[in-house]
């Protein structure tokens, strides 16, 4: 039996005295002893704040993203030892893949998003500057900076790897250190992976700490810069949310609680339709993956009343093929629950639900177990119930059996289906299986406010659908009400939960220096053409004011013939005069952009490697034959790459006519080489 250690203040520590013994979910044999007594929790928080936080904040988003990538690669190379130990949790290889490689994949997803969508800096500019004065001499800019505390993650037993990694990917990318507290029942798998994470050296000391066992007085020491996240039961989450230190210090608290997620079968999905077959497969999958121990599993299957009987028949047939037993035994498709205590909790919940529903498939007293002793392991068969009157049965919308259990309930019409979906009082996810887009639309707008995620499945997307119960790194994970009211993941949205938004006011010059993005009104410099400068030589405010070019009617007509854009506003004087926006023939907007490029480009080979885009293009004043245009191009922002010999440069581009009126405003994006100019 392995005695688990915690990783605190830079070294591994064993708990003092005897701890709680965790049993193998399949064999019932002791696996690990868990004990956190003797840990100084206040010191752990201080260590994270004073050692881990400053070290992380010295790195930019791109550097932290690269370290996430390196960590993912290190764990991927060692995945087989995680799979081997994961069997003790009762998980099959498929179950463990979701937990282990799903978690590693989340690290990789955030590594990519960090480099693509965040700047190579330690802060994020939020939105455009706000001009606060008449002359533009007083402006404001919102910025996002990392919190200077610690993220405390209190995780659930069902995903000992993914539950840890999906949270760490985000807080580490944000530049905030973490203390991870896994659920004791499966902490042995978390501890093994955590050991490999520390061995990897991917992140600086103090960025990662681990508590195996109880949290003691940890929460007594949290402050306003800390974040506490919790995944687990709603009752425990409510107690934590009301902790005096969390309340007094307005600590950011995110809860993801188990919810009674629903899946709705559309009225068009008759037994001979692809959607019906997809629905049956999904219900069975959500009942049996991880033995139904998923916070996103389908607990309520809502179907048209006329389709309930054939649905029960189809589910019975498919559930009869599920083989329960030791995940290592050949042919087993569903393993054990995490513990016998968890099995007993599920049975207690089933008994409560059965007061308003009938068990129509599965018998918890009589079922076969392959390759294991049913009396020693935490086994249950899939249990399907039917509630004929779900409007009158509150229990089916209030009690969750956190295992291989689902309840079928009928509805009469779309409004009825929406009402039943809402009866869950807040869910992580709901799904609709239908080829009727109008029905899908009615369900989405009727139930979206009660859900964190909604999945619509039909024959068109089924092949690529990731499924009802699969949280994705790029999508928000969380939900209102019973689901906890929190939000995680969601791509870079998740990073923002660990950053503080601050409005900074001052002069354009000062805010340009602070935010490293040039603001109109800040100083400019005109010397060598900025396209002749390398990334290092370029400074914010480097500007070129071009020569001028007069637009002729021949130019407009040539551009129309050359491109095929013969829209009447460019070619038909009478029709253009009748248009209140133009009052006569005007130049093409893209011709104006082309003229502008011809005016500001320095044509010779140099540090500018490529133009890769235009952002925020707006045409503001019509250009007529005879108008004379001029361009001001200013270096607005630089974003160096850490692994390539170039960086991105954003150029503020303003095109004016002979009267000084702005004709077009946009940002040109270029790749500019590093190194000495040639």
Q: What's the pLDDT score for residue 529?
A: 92
Q: What's the pLDDT score for residue 449?
A: 94
Reply yes or no on whether the pLDDT at 607 is more than 80: yes
pLDDT tens digits along 14-72: 888 888 898 899 998 999 999 988 899 999 999 999 999 999 999 999 999 999 999 99
The dihedrals phi and psi of 495, each to the nearest 5 degrees, come to: -60, -35
Q: What's the pLDDT score for residue 625?
A: 93
CATH code for the structural domain at 2-135+149-254: 3.40.605.10
Reply yes or no on whether the pLDDT at 542 is more than 90: yes
* Degrees, nearest 5: CA angle 512-518-524: 105
The position carrying tokens 């021949």 is 554
Q: What is the C-alpha separation between 500 and 651, in angstroms, rounded?
A: 28
Q: What is the C-alpha separation between 312 and 385, in angstroms, rounded?
A: 9
Candidate list 33, 256, 282, 487, residue with the active-site label? 256
Does residue 295 have an active-site annotation? yes
Range(s) for CATH 3.10.129.10 in the chain? Answer: 507-551+587-673
Superfamily name with CATH number, domain 262-483: Aldehyde Dehydrogenase; Chain A, domain 2 (3.40.309.10)
Range(s) for CATH 3.40.605.10 in the chain? Answer: 2-135+149-254
The fold adopted by the segment(s) 507-551+587-673 is: Thiol Ester Dehydrase; Chain A (3.10.129)
Does residue 212 have an active-site annotation? no
Mean pLDDT of the chain: 92
| Banded model confidence at residue 233, pLDDT cuts 50, 70, 90 | confident
Quote the pTM value: 0.89
Q: What is the mean pLDDT of residues 170-179?
A: 97
Nearest alpha carbon to residue 87 among 355, 396, 332, 424: 332
Q: What is the mean pLDDT of residues 247-258?
A: 92
The position carrying tokens 């939020």 is 126
Helices (H), 148-273: 162-174, 187-200, 234-241, 244-248
Q: What's the pLDDT score for residue 567?
A: 86
Reply yes or no on whether the pLDDT at 368 is more than 50: yes
Structure tokens at 507: 């002069």
Reply yes or no on whether the pLDDT at 677 is more than 80: no
Strand partners, 455: 431
Selected residue with higher pLDDT from 655 and 157: 655
Q: What is the C-alpha separation between 3 and 355, in angstroms, rounded?
A: 43
Q: What's the pLDDT score for residue 394?
A: 92
Q: What is the C-alpha separation between 408 and 381, in angstroms, rounded?
A: 17
The answer to whether the Cα torsion of 657, 661, 666, 669 is positive or negative is positive
Residue 328 to residues 91, 605, 669, Cα–Cα distance (Å): 9, 63, 55
Nearest alpha carbon to residue 401 among 552, 292, 513: 292
Candidate list 161, 212, 262, 295, residue with the active-site label? 295
Range(s) for CATH 3.40.309.10 in the chain? Answer: 262-483
**Burial class of residue 162, CB neighbours in 10 A (0-12, 13-18, 19+):** buried
Q: What's the pLDDT score for residue 1?
A: 65
The position carrying tokens 């952002």 is 615
Reply yes or no on whether the pLDDT at 678 is more than 80: no
Q: What's the pLDDT score for residue 581?
A: 83
Selected residue with higher pLDDT from 504 and 583: 504
pLDDT tens digits along 618-633: 999 999 999 999 999 9
DSSP 230-252: EEE-HHHHHHHHT-HHHHHTT-E
Percent of the chain with pLDDT over 90: 80
Q: What is the C-alpha separation between 213 and 3, in angstroms, rounded?
A: 11
Q: Are strands 262-265 and 427-433 parallel, antiparallel or unpaired?
A: parallel
Q: What is the C-alpha separation between 52 and 436, in angstroms, rounded?
A: 52
Q: What is the mean pLDDT of residues 483-509?
A: 93
Q: What's the pLDDT score for residue 675?
A: 84
């Amino acid at each position: 039996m392995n005695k688990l250690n915690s990783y605190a203040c830079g070294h591994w520590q064993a708990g003092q005295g005897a701890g709680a013994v965790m049993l193998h979910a399949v064999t019932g044999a002791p696996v690990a002893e868990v004990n956190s007594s003797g840990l100084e929790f206040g010191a752990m928080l201080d260590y994270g704040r004073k050692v881990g936080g400053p070290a992380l904040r010295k790195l930019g988003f791109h550097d932290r993203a690269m370290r996430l990538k390196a960590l993912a690669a290190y764990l991927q190379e060692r995945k087989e030892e995680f799979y081997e130990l994961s069997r003790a949790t009762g998980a099959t290889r498929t179950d463990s893949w979701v937990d282990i490689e799903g978690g590693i994949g989340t690290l990789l997803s955030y590594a990519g998003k960090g480099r693509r969508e965040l700047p190579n800096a330690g802060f994020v500019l939020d939105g455009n500057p706000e001009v606060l004065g008449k002359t533009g001499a007083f402006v404001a800019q919102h910025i996002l900076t990392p919190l200077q505390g610690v993220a405390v993650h209190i995780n659930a037993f069902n995903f000992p790897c993914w539950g840890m990694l999906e949270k760490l990917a985000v807080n580490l990318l944000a530049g905030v250190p973490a203390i991870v507290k896994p659920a004791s029942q499966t902490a042995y798998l978390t501890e093994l992976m955590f050991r490999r994470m520390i061995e990897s050296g991917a992140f600086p000391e103090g960025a990662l700490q681990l508590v195996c066992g109880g949290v003691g007085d940890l929460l007594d020491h949290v402050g306003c810069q800390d974040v506490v996240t919790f995944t687990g039961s709603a009752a425990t989450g409510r107690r934590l949310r009301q902790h005096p230190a969390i309340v007094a210090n307005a600590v950011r608290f995110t809860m993801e609680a188990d919810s009674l997620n629903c899946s709705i079968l559309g009225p068009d999905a008759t037994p001979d339709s692809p959607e019906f077959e997809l629905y049956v497969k999904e219900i069975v999958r959500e009942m049996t993956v991880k033995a139904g121990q998923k916070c996103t599993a389908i607990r309520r299957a809502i179907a048209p009343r006329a389709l309930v009987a054939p649905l029960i028949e189809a589910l019975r047939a498919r559930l009869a093929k599920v083989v329960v037993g030791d995940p290592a035994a050949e042919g087993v498709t569903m393993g054990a629950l995490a513990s016998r205590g968890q099995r007993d909790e599920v049975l207690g919940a089933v008994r409560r639900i059965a007061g308003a529903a009938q068990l129509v498939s599965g018998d918890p007293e009589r079922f076969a177990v392959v390759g294991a002793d049913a009396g020693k392991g935490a086994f249950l068969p899939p249990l399907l119930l039917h509630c004929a009157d779900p409007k009158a049965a509150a229990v089916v919308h209030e009690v969750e059996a956190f295992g291989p259990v689902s309840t079928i309930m009928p509805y009469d019409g779309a409004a009825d289906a929406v009402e039943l979906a809402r009866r869950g009082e807040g869910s992580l996810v709901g799904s609709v299986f239908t080829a009727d887009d109008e029905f899908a639309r009615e369900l989405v707008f009727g139930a979206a406010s009660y859900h964190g995620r909604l999945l619509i499945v039909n024959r068109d997307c089924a092949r690529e659908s990731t499924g009802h119960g699969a949280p994705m790194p790029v999508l928000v994970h969380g939900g209102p009400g019973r689901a906890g009211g929190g939000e995680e993941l969601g791509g870079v949205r998740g990073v923002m939960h660990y950053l503080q938004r601050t409005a900074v006011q001052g002069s354009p010059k000062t805010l340009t220096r602070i935010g490293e993005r040039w603001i109109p009104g800040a100083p400019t410099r005109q010397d060598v053409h900025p396209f002749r400068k390398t990334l290092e030589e370029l400074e914010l405010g480097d500007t070129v004011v071009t020569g001028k070019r007069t637009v002729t009617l021949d130019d407009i007509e040539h551009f129309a013939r050359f491109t095929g854009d013969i829209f009447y506003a460019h070619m038909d004087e009478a029709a253009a005069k009748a248009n209140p926006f133009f009052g006569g023939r005007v130049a093409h907007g893209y011709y104006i952009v082309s003229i502008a490029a011809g005016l500001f480009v320095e044509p010779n080979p140099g540090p500018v490697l490529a133009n890769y885009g235009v952002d925020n293009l707006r045409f503001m004043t019509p250009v007529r034959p005879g108008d004379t245009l001029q361009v001001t191009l200013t270096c607005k922002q630089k974003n160096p790459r850490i692994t390539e010999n170039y960086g991105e440069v954003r150029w503020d581009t303003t095109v004016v006519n002979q009267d000084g009126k702005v004709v077009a405003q946009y940002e040109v994006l270029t790749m500019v080489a590093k190194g000495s100019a040639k």
